[in-house]
Amino acid sequence: MIPRFSLARPDNIAEAFEAHAAANGEGAYYAGGTELLQVMKMGLAQFSTLIDLKGIEELRGISQDADDRLRIGASTTHRQIERSPIVRERLPALARLETEVANVRVRNAGTIGGNLAFAEPHSDPATFLLASDAELELASPTGRRTMGVADFVLGPLFTSREPDEILVAIRVPAARPGEGRGYAKIRFFERPAASVAVRLRVSDGHVSEATVVVGSLTEVPLSVPGAADRLVGATVEGPGSDGSIDAAVGEARAAFGDLDVVPDLNGSADYKRHLAGILLGRAVRDALPEVATHA
């Protein structure tokens, strides 16, 4: 059972701050509530006031801003991102990722902002957004600030968000010419056991820039420059040569051997490193069609 609590439903961010201040340190923001309510049911946290952010217009919707980035309001649900025409056009890998977040019930209720703010180590969006160099916008009673995913997610269930701050939006750079993004995961339950996100830029048939991020292996999503460096220079036309992307992926897998992987119910550290190596190849193959689309 969940202990009794009061519910505030502000119409704007200023009203949300007022409700939080009135709770005297015992208030919590929420939108979908899929994670928060589970924590409260388990008795791991109690709040006298829950502040429902779903009615705040600024926190909803998906648009393209003046800097050619996609702005995703923090209260936008996974299902809305999955079905968004602009996401499918500009960030198809994110749309594909969202189709496999948890289950349909969670995707219909759970929000992108709630997923990030909860900082569950087995998160799909955080891994992809780190590889995409996304920025998070936060608002507090004293002003606003932006930060990257690596500066926001500090540890399991731990972020740099202050108690009275609201995650307002996620801004994701759209693909540049010759750029593609890919994501691959293996899951044994409803959360990934291991995942890999990549961002590739191809010039003249060769990888000119690369980013590789692993998720669900370490306590936070982690960029692996050693793996990315081994992809740079690889050809993407015709597998089989020493310089091909397939050969580069094989070399890049070696970089996962240095990761301080956390073993869990999904497998040992060595097994999860092995999974990540397989997923790297899948993520690269997922990204290459997008490279051609944005060439």
Residue with tokens 């995707």: 107
* Token pair in block for residue 250: 């094989």
* Token pair in block for residue 108: 């219909």
Task: Catalogue the long-range contacts made by 262-267 (C-beta closer than 8 Å, 24 or more residues apart).
Answer: 262/121, 262/217, 262/218, 262/219, 266/188, 266/193, 266/194, 266/216, 267/193
* Token pair in block for residue 40: 């409260």
- Domain made up of 179-293: CATH architecture: 2-Layer Sandwich (3.30)
Q: How confident is the model at residue 96 (pLDDT cuts 50, 70, 90)?
A: very high
Average pLDDT, the chain: 93
Q: How confident is the model at residue 97 (pLDDT cuts 50, 70, 90)?
A: very high
Per the CB < 8 A criterion, the answer to whether 276 and 83 are in contact is no
Q: How confident is the model at residue 254 (pLDDT cuts 50, 70, 90)?
A: very high
Q: How confident is the model at residue 10 (pLDDT cuts 50, 70, 90)?
A: very high
| Higher-scoring residue by pLDDT: 133, 39 | 133
pLDDT tens digit string along 134-193?
999 999 999 999 999 999 999 999 999 999 999 999 999 988 889 999 999 999 888 899
40 by Cβ neighbours in 10 Å (0-12 / 13-18 / 19+) ranks as: buried
Percent of the chain residues past pLDDT 90, beyond the cut? 82
Domain boundaries, the chain: 6-52, 57-173, 179-293
pLDDT tens digit string along 208-245?
999 999 999 999 999 999 999 999 999 997 545 556 99
Please give the CATH topology (third level) of the domain spanning 6-52: 3.30.43
Least confident range from 99-103, 120-124, 187-191, 214-218: namely 187-191
* Token pair in block for residue 190: 């409803």
Q: Name the H helices within the chain.
A: 13-22, 36-41, 78-83, 85-90, 92-98, 104-109, 112-118, 124-131, 149-152, 225-231, 245-252, 269-293
Model pTM score:
0.94
Q: Cα(52)–Cα(44) distance, rounded to whole angstroms?
A: 20
Q: What Å distances lie between residue 147 and 136, 156, 172, CA to CA?
A: 5, 18, 12
Give pLDDT, residue 176: 85
Task: Please give the biggest Cα pair distance in the chain.
Answer: 66
Q: What Å distances lie between residue 144 and 165, 245, 277, CA to CA?
A: 9, 42, 39
Mean pLDDT, residues 45-61: 95
Spell 234-268 as b/e; 16+ CB within 10 A means b.
Answer: bbbeeeeeeebbbbbbeebbebbeebebeeeebbe
Please give the CATH topology (third level) of the domain spanning 57-173: 3.30.465
Per the CB < 8 A criterion, the answer to whether 151 and 162 are in contact is no
Per the CB < 8 A criterion, the answer to whether 23 and 167 are in contact is no
